[in-house]
Structure 1
């Protein structure tokens, strides 16, 4: 892996830990920091009412903020602004528009869905995340690139696992007890049914698509029965991994995560 690609992978790994986690669990869930910021901002007097409980406890999704109606009842509205001060938070939308953050995407979509005058283009009511990083020209996936992609993908999984283990967000036991590719499958499989749905695969696509045009053709190729799902067997076969005892390893990794949570 050349130096430039490794730097980009390192950057994407950081995004995975800091940004993809909320996409994996809930693409509309705000971070604790964002939540605290909104709560502090909305603890002020709004609409003539002193907020003592409303917006202090009201949770709003990313791109939204809590406000009080004329009766002092809290509700979630499109955010007036987003904390777009992180240069590494840029995203590319399905309309090939670069935005400074996911918050900005959801704020814009919210305003357009409500047909607010701040909406610059009504088509933005259907805007969504395409991939992380600013929009760029992505080259076509050639047959040769696709044939070499499984090797590159396994190397990328190893780099991500090493980064997260070094950063303390993945235990050595989780990262090293099985191949990084199997760890990543188990990590993406939120339902723990040994099947990756399209929704569960989306974080992988959005994190790689910006510099790996073969990710979607590869996943399509892995889906042998064309049911828009990838089983653990299809995954290991596609990546050329020995599938012996793989399911047990997924179960052990899940048990390790539960144990780690209990000890916190």
Structure 2
């Protein structure tokens, strides 16, 4: 899966850019004729992160992502992988690697409140490391099975999402998805933010003179645009499904796969949880492409698995 662009765009249309760091490498040459020659600092090449401007690194949430530990070459743990919340230890009896739950106290202290996360148990954890270590300790229990990372930040009171508010959620979400793709297309060039097939589809949206430009729009205008320019919204909805359906890519979205999208949104959009819960029309804990598309108002005859590129 491609890397993700971290641009935290909220549904209201604001954008945040994730900061990057540059390391300056200074090399020293030996003294020549009592003069010390120091080369100019050379910044490391900037690394592109992310493909979805709102979604943060999937690894922060995905309980199935494998994490590689750094060990000396002779250590059996060198090539052994453990999922989030576990660390590799050596079984002394046969000198073989094994994954054990990480002690939450061994997690690095949170650098600030921005690292706090809220679990579905409505408990604030110092960081995602503390959360997954705690979840691992509950593995095999009913409580552990139900425990998931809910959203970023400390737990707080979230207003009840009423029906009228719920009906407004997809209006903003559809518009946001369309603008995310247009932004990626504008910035892509040789950055491989989109595949060639995706570029072809987004280019048609980008060049359409009827396209509603990004910005603050009334709900009435968003509803009117969806009705008049319906075809512009079909691919963005399919694209987002494909971006989330990664672990594994099986045509269904789990709570964990939804986390990179929903976790940053919940503190800003209190209808997020109810919206995705109701997308699961058959209540089987999985959201199929057909259920996802229906949530965003895409007609059944326009659902096409080939668009999930």
- Structure 1 and Structure 2 fold alike (TM over 0.5): yes
Q: Are the aligned partners of 1:22 and 1:30 in contact in 2 as well (CA < 8 Å)?
A: no
Q: Are the aligned partners of 2:252 and 2:288 in contact in 1 as well (CA < 8 Å)?
A: yes
- Inter-CA distance 218–15: structure 2 relative to 1 (3 Å threshold): closer
The answer as to 2:158 corresponding to 1:132 is no
- From 246, 259, 269, the counterpart of 1:212: 269
Cross-structure match for 1:70: 92
The answer as to 2:154 corresponding to 1:149 is no
In 1, Cα distance between the equivalents of 2:193 and 2:282?
Answer: 33
The alignment partner of 1:96 has SS state of coil
Q: Are the aligned partners of 1:223 and 1:229 in contact in 2 as well (CA < 8 Å)?
A: yes
The answer as to 2:124 corresponding to 1:98 is yes
TM-score normalized by structure 2? 0.56
- Inter-CA distance 157–133: structure 2 relative to 1 (3 Å threshold): farther
The answer as to 2:186 corresponding to 1:186 is no
Q: Are the aligned partners of 2:11 and 2:172 in contact in 1 as well (CA < 8 Å)?
A: no
Q: Are the aligned partners of 1:135 and 1:210 in contact in 2 as well (CA < 8 Å)?
A: no
In 2, Cα distance between the equivalents of 1:169 and 1:63?
Answer: 32
> What are the within-5 Å matches in structure 2 for residues 243-258 of structure 1?
245-247=302-304, 250-254=305-309
- Inter-CA distance 60–186: structure 2 relative to 1 (3 Å threshold): closer
The alignment partner of 1:179 has SS state of helix
Equivalences, count: 226
> What are the within-5 Å matches in structure 2 for residues 8-47 of structure 1?
16-18=55-57, 20=58, 23=61, 26-31=62-67, 35=68, 38-40=69-71, 43=72
In 2, Cα distance between the equivalents of 1:152 and 1:28?
Answer: 31
Task: Tell me the alpha carbon deviations over residues 46-74 of structure 1, each in whole angstroms, 9 at most, x when there is no partner.
Answer: xxxxx714121222222222222333333
Q: In the TM superposition, what is the alpha-carbon distance from 1:151 to its structure 2 partner?
A: 0.8
The alignment partner of 2:87 has SS state of strand
Q: In the TM superposition, what is the alpha-carbon distance from 1:141 to its structure 2 partner?
A: 0.8
- Inter-CA distance 171–56: structure 2 relative to 1 (3 Å threshold): same
Q: In the TM superposition, what is the alpha-carbon distance from 1:89 to its structure 2 partner?
A: 4.2
In 2, Cα distance between the equivalents of 1:171 and 1:209?
Answer: 27
In 1, Cα distance between the equivalents of 2:16 and 2:291?
Answer: 25
In 2, Cα distance between the equivalents of 1:74 and 1:135?
Answer: 37
Q: Are the aligned partners of 1:209 and 1:215 in contact in 2 as well (CA < 8 Å)?
A: yes
Q: CA RMSD in A?
A: 4.1
Cross-structure match for 2:136: 110
Name the structure with the higher helix share. Answer: 1
Task: Tell me the alpha carbon deviations over residues 187-235 of structure 1, each in whole angstroms, 9 at most, x when there is no partner.
Answer: 3344666554566545544343332222233234445555555443443
In 1, Cα distance between the equivalents of 2:138 and 2:251?
Answer: 38
Q: Are the aligned partners of 1:161 and 1:170 in contact in 2 as well (CA < 8 Å)?
A: no
Pick which of 209-218 and 227-236 moved more: 227-236
**Unaligned segments of structure 1, at least 5 residues:** 44-50, 115-122, 255-264
Q: Are the aligned partners of 1:109 and 1:126 in contact in 2 as well (CA < 8 Å)?
A: no
The answer as to 2:107 corresponding to 1:82 is yes
In 2, Cα distance between the equivalents of 1:17 and 1:240?
Answer: 26
Q: In the TM superposition, what is the alpha-carbon distance from 1:95 to its structure 2 partner?
A: 2.4
Q: In the TM superposition, what is the alpha-carbon distance from 1:164 to its structure 2 partner?
A: 5.8
- Inter-CA distance 90–14: structure 2 relative to 1 (3 Å threshold): farther
